[in-house]
């Protein structure tokens, strides 16, 4: 057995499904799906090999997820723990947050601009800016998911894990924009769990308890994403 480092979260729920995009939301955000073909702007690599099988996956990276929240909290002189505690409320109340062009840690897939300057487009207080940062993570994930959908991958669902996946407002936005149901299993450390399953040779398992966020029409969010894409293209 051979496992590529960094792909452990894909195996947290057992054998990865071919119809599922796996999103891990932590300091950075990563989205992966099984695919034998590559796609422009995405990483493509062998993630698993045994004596009789090889699995390949596409991967997109968003460097600034939790790291971007830390960046904003530090710049706003706000304790991060206090900000994290208010995120569910701020996401629920955000009606028209500014746009955030998120280059914290370098702009990752599918643009790959390491020196990209982070900036807000529009004004707002700290609550609105925190919501904007989280929306930027979703927007960047969608850029990657769109390219995955243009490959041979046939995605019908998204599975999320990681600390930021506990935010209902974030999961609902991901479902609304992607048009796919977002499944949030009741697990906390997907990377550690996936590594443990692989070490023990456990590729199959009973479905875990989960919460499912079904896509809903969200015109305002779609309009913000369209304006964000225009602003990003202009900045690039």
| Least confident interval from 60-69, 131-140, 191-200 | 191-200
Confidence band (pLDDT; 50, 70, 90) for 204?
A: low
Confidence at 3, pLDDT banded by 50, 70, 90: very low
Pairwise CA distance, residues 224 & 231, whole Å: 10
Mean pLDDT of the chain: 88
Read off the pLDDT band of 196 (50, 70, 90).
Answer: very low
3-state secondary structure of 120: strand
Nearest to 200 by CA among 44, 8, 7, 71: 8
Give the CATH architecture of domain 2-235.
2-Layer Sandwich (3.30)
Least confident of 131-135, 154-158, 177-181: 154-158
State yes or no: pLDDT of 197 exceeds 60: no
- Taking only the tens place, the pLDDT of each residue in 218-233 is 999 999 999 999 999 9
Q: Greater confidence, 134 or 151?
A: 134
* Ranges 48-57, 63-72, 90-99, 194-203: which has the least confidence: 194-203
Convert the pLDDT of each residue in 14-37 to its tens digit. 788 999 999 999 999 999 999 988
Peptide bond before residue 166 is cis, with ω within 30 degrees of 0: no
Tens of pLDDT along 145-176? 999 987 666 899 999 999 999 999 999 999 99
Instruction: State the pLDDT at residue 73.
Output: 96
For 35-170, where are the E strands, in sequence order?
43-49, 54-62, 99-101, 119-121, 157-161
Contact 148, 60 (CB under 8 A): yes
Q: Please give the residue that has the higher pLDDT: either 199 or 172.
A: 172
Asked if residue 46 lies in contact with residue 59, where contact means CB atoms within 8 angstroms, the answer is no
Q: 128 pLDDT exceeds 70?
A: yes
Q: Which of 68, 71, 140 is closest to 109 using CA atoms?
A: 140
CA geometry: angle at 112 spanning 111 and 117, to 5°?
A: 90
For residue 192, pLDDT over 70 is answered with no
Percent of the chain exceeding pLDDT 90 equals 72
Q: Any idea of the CA torsion for 107, 60, 100, 135, to the nearest 10 degrees?
A: -160
Domain range summary for the chain, segments of one domain joined by +? 2-235
């Amino acid at each position: 057995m051979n496992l590529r480092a960094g792909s452990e979260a894909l195996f947290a729920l057992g054998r990865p499904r071919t119809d599922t995009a796996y999103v891990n939301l932590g300091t950075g955000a990563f989205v992966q799906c099984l695919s034998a073909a590559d796609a422009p702007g995405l990483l493509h690599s062998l993630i698993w090999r045994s004596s009789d099988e090889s699995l390949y996956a596409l991967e997109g990276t968003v460097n600034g997820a939790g790291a971007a929240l830390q960046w904003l909290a530090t710049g706003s002189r706000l304790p991060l723990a206090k900000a994290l505690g208010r995120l569910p409320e701020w996401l629920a109340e955000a009606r028209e947050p500014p746009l955030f062009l998120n280059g914290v840690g370098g702009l990752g897939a599918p643009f790959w601009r390491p020196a990209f300057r982070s900036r807000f487009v529009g004004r707002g207080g700290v609550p609105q800016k925190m919501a904007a940062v989280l929306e930027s993570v979703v927007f960047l994930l969608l850029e990657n998911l769109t390219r995955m959908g243009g490959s041979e991958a046939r995605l019908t669902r998204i599975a999320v894990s990681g600390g930021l996946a506990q935010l209902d407002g974030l999961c609902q936005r991901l479902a609304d924009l992607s048009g796919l149901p977002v499944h949030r299993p009741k697990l906390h450390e997907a990377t550690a769990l996936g590594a443990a399953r692989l070490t023990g040779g456990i590729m199959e398992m009973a479905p875990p308890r989960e919460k499912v966020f079904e896509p809903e029409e969200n015109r305002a969010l779609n309009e913000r994403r369209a304006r964000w894409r225009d602003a990003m293209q202009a900045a690039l």
